[in-house]
Amino acid sequence: MKNESDRSRPSGSITVKHNNVAEMPTETIPSGTPDRCVPGQVIHDALISMRDGIKLAADIYLPDEVGPFPVILTRIPYGKKEPYCDMPLVGEFWTKKGYAFVVQDVRGKWGSEGVFEPNNKRNEIADGYDTLEWVTQQPWSNHRTGMWGESYYGFTTYAGAVSQHPNLICIAPGDISLNRYQCTFRNGALQLNTLGMWSIYMMAREYQDIENIDPWHLPLAEMGEAGGIPSSYFDQVIANPVPGPFWEERSLLEGYESIRIPVLHWSGWYDSYLGPMIRDWSEIGKHNMETGHNHLFIGPWDHEGTADEIHRVGGLEVGGDTAKHRWDTCQAFFDHYLMGLTDGSGRIPKVHIFVMGENVWRDEQAWPLARTRFTEFYLHSNGKANALNGDGILNKSIPGEEQADTYVYDPENPVDDTLYFDCYSIAGEMGDRSGIEERRDVLVYSTDKFDSDMEITGPLKAKLFAASSAVDTDFTVTLVDVSENEYANLIQDGIIRASYRGSDLKPSPITPGKVYEYTVDLWATSYVVKKGHRLRVEVSSSCFNRYDRNTNTGEPFGKASKTIPAKQTIFHSKAYPSHIILPLIPK
């Protein structure tokens, strides 16, 4: 989440006394004085003692006026001074708005002592509380603190709320979830390009170089070691492909009931954790209904916010104000709850979304929208829906007796459109899907051209009736907008591992040749398919390396050293009516 300001700050030196839940020693800190807060100060590398004596380093940015101030705290593993995250610019933004900003390297990263243990909730909750306690006692603090952050520092923001520090007033976590398992595995498939690689390059005080990591390597469990970068956390991820004690110790699910302060959950339609974050908003809302301060904010961006710079997602223009609007919305949230100001209406919308295609921001009172008409669009063909030149059709008619479609999924030749870029930047990197749709192992089903605009806003699911020659395999479903010039633009996609068809808790193999019903969660969107465009559904069995390849062998996760092809059959008949369910919004 970037902003455009850039200004240097003066420096000096001070001594600050810690007053925390544990006994804290007096520390010497560069830049400033505790008894007179110099306007415009930046206090670098303040060492804040935790209850176990470990010291965590923080930078403090003060406004160009006399305090005390409300404080916004961010706890980050990516380096509080590193250009990658632009924390000095973030500090510049918040201080201009009248807030003190504190950014801290988490335990074991960059300037902080200790050992980094990814998603260790005990550390992040305790360290968050102790840091909030220290911040509250500083002369530049008015004892009202909010927390902000995205990705991992969204996780530490949630952890701060779970700590229930009395001076934490509100939080704005983005692009993350309390449930780390659902961030890492999607319906049984490992998010290899993002969380798989992250679990390797994060296992150092700064970063590990993953240039030599080969995502094709089998067994998958040895990928890091084979690239010369062993990672204990990657090993643990591979060893824990189902929910259990390992993930419970690294998730903040207790926050569903314990978080009672105002929350602004923000994400993007193309973010890697969109679905889990929407579930977090819903779950916290169930237990926090009496407050009415649980807000959902979704824009047209991916994890890295690439739409901010290129003003498009794939081939769809989205305008140039996305970054400004994100910052303005976060500021309005903190102004309302932390400063006690209002935006004129005296409220923050419950749901605030960007409608792609119309390129407008819209406030809503519910998710899904109360006026949603969930509509089934069914797959049809004469058994030859393979590739663009096939006979696949998508419409609202229930199938009759139709011949099933077949294709061969070969793990040695997966659909690899995401192999060549960082999937955290998918909205900016994805291109025309027409090339993918030329593959024989991709089934293509298209509507006729629409004679009016059609808005799709809400959760997306597909129901596939499918059989495989393998004992385990994957199925993918992709929803596509096809423009008048035949550009195929990704709306949303999903994946399911056949052995996880029933529950994450009890994966089980399938019987070769047997027809199963698979529910594929495509998460959500808000997208207007324009007049003259067509809607398209692609069905296949891979999206590499966004997700790991299913080897089709049925061997334990991460252990397979060989692959076998699988013949896949997709049924669309009266008995097996494969379809996608679209949340249509009437005009």
Confidence of residue 346 (pLDDT cuts 50, 70, 90): low
- d(C-alpha 464, C-alpha 453), whole Å: 27
| pLDDT tens per residue, range 202-261 | 999 999 999 999 999 999 999 999 999 999 999 999 999 999 999 999 999 999 999 999
Helix axes 121-136, 152-162, angle to 10 degrees: 70
pLDDT at 291: 65
- d(C-alpha 575, C-alpha 294), whole Å: 42
Q: Is 336 a catalytic residue?
A: no
Higher pLDDT, 175 or 84: 175
Q: Is 271 a catalytic residue?
A: yes
370 membership: H or E segment, kind and range: none
> How many residues in the chain?
587
pLDDT at 41: 87
Residue 586 has pLDDT above 50, yes or no: yes
pLDDT at 379: 98
pTM assigned to the model: 0.92
- d(C-alpha 114, C-alpha 123), whole Å: 10
- d(C-alpha 222, C-alpha 41), whole Å: 48
Residue 35 has pLDDT above 50, yes or no: no
Of the residues 303, 352, 380, 579, only one is catalytic, namely 303
Residue 89: which residues within 8 A CB-CB, separation 6 or more?
A: 2, 3, 4, 5, 6
Q: What is the mean pLDDT of the chain?
A: 92
Type of residue numbered 419 = L
**For residue 324, what are its two tokens?**
């400004």
- d(C-alpha 551, C-alpha 218), whole Å: 10
The average pLDDT across 3-10 equals 29
Cβ count near 63 (within 10 Å): 20
Which ranges in the chain are annotated with CATH 2.60.120.260? 373-585
**For residue 85, what are its two tokens?**
């995250």
Which ranges in the chain are annotated with CATH 3.40.50.1820? 13-181+247-341
pLDDT at 290: 63
- Rg of the chain on CA atoms, in Å: 25
Of the residues 105, 271, 405, 481, only one is catalytic, namely 271
| pLDDT tens per residue, range 358-370 | 999 999 999 999 9
> Comparing C-alpha atoms, which of 82, 140, 85 is closest to residue 111?
82
| pLDDT tens per residue, range 396-447 | 999 999 999 999 999 999 999 999 999 999 999 999 999 999 999 999 999 9
Task: Indicate the range of 37-51, 159-173, 365-379, 419-433 predicted with least confidence.
Answer: 37-51
Task: Indicate the range of 69-78, 221-230, 498-507 predicted with least confidence.
Answer: 498-507
Q: What is the DSSP secondary structure assignment for residue 386, as one 8-state letter?
A: B
- In this structure, whether the domain defined by 373-585 belongs to CATH 2.60.120.260 is answered with yes
Q: Is 452 a catalytic residue?
A: no
Confidence of residue 33 (pLDDT cuts 50, 70, 90): very low
Residue 500 has pLDDT above 70, yes or no: yes
> Comparing C-alpha atoms, which of 93, 91, 110, 113 is closest to residue 102?
91
Q: What is the DSSP secondary structure assignment for residue 91, as one 8-state letter?
A: H
Alpha-carbon distance values, 210 to 49, 85, 148, 388, 543 (Å)? 33, 19, 29, 36, 21
Residue with tokens 């419409």: 395
Domain 13-181+247-341, CATH: 3.40.50.1820
Type of residue numbered 578 = S
Q: What is the DSSP secondary structure assignment for residue 196, as one 8-state letter?
A: I
